[in-house]
Amino acid sequence: MRYHGAMNPARRLSIVFALLLFALPGRGHAYIDPGAGSYLVQIVIAALVGSGFALKLYWKRIRDALHRPKSRDHDAG
């Protein structure tokens, strides 16, 4: 039975390869090496700065909304 359950090396390799393909983000026609470490670090940084960026966008929207009537007056004048 043990013998039966063992996978031949070629099959094992193809499964590992398939798993790798699913795990790796698609690369399109990427011709430069993005670097695994660089992927990881940008994901971490983006997670850290995401909420700050959201606040910044909301603040910008509020500011734009407050300033809009003024600029209309100016245009009209």
Partner 1 sequence: MGGDPLRLASSFRDPSGFLFSRDGVIYRQINSIYREDYDRLTESGLCRELVDAGLMIPHEEVDAPPADPETAYKIIRPEVVPFISYPYEWCFSGLKDAALATLEIQRCALERGMTLKDASAFNIQFIGGRPVLIDTLSFERYREGMPWAAYRQFCQHFLAPLALMARADARLGCLLGVYIDGVPLDLASALLPLRSRFSFRLLSHIHLHAAAQRRGAGSGKPVTARLSRFRLLALIDNLRGAVAACSWRPPKTAWSAYYEATTYAPEAFEHKRRTIGTFLDVLAPRSVWDMGANTGVFSRVAAAKGIPTVSLDGDRAAVEMNYLACRKEGERKILPLVMDLTNPSPSLGWAHRERMSLAARGPADAVMALALIHHVAIANNVPLAAAARYFRELGRGLIIEFVPKEDSNVQRMLATREDIFPDYTERRFEEAFGRHFTVEAREAVPGSRRAIYLMKRRAV
Footprint of partner 1 on this chain (CB under 8 A)?
Answer: 20, 23-50, 52-54, 56
Q: By C-beta, is 6 or 23 nearer to partner 1?
A: 23
DSSP symbols for 24-60:
SPP-TT--S---HHHHHHHHHHHHHHHHHHHHHHHHH
Greatest distance between any 2 Cα atoms in the chain: 90
Q: By C-beta, is 23 or 66 nearer to partner 1?
A: 23
Q: Smallest gap, in angstroms, from Cβ of residue 72 to partner 1?
A: 25
Q: By C-beta, is 9 or 26 nearer to partner 1?
A: 26
Q: Smallest gap, in angstroms, from Cβ of residue 18 to partner 1?
A: 12
Nearest to 39 by CA among 30, 61, 52, 17: 30
Q: Smallest gap, in angstroms, from Cβ of residue 9 to partner 1?
A: 19
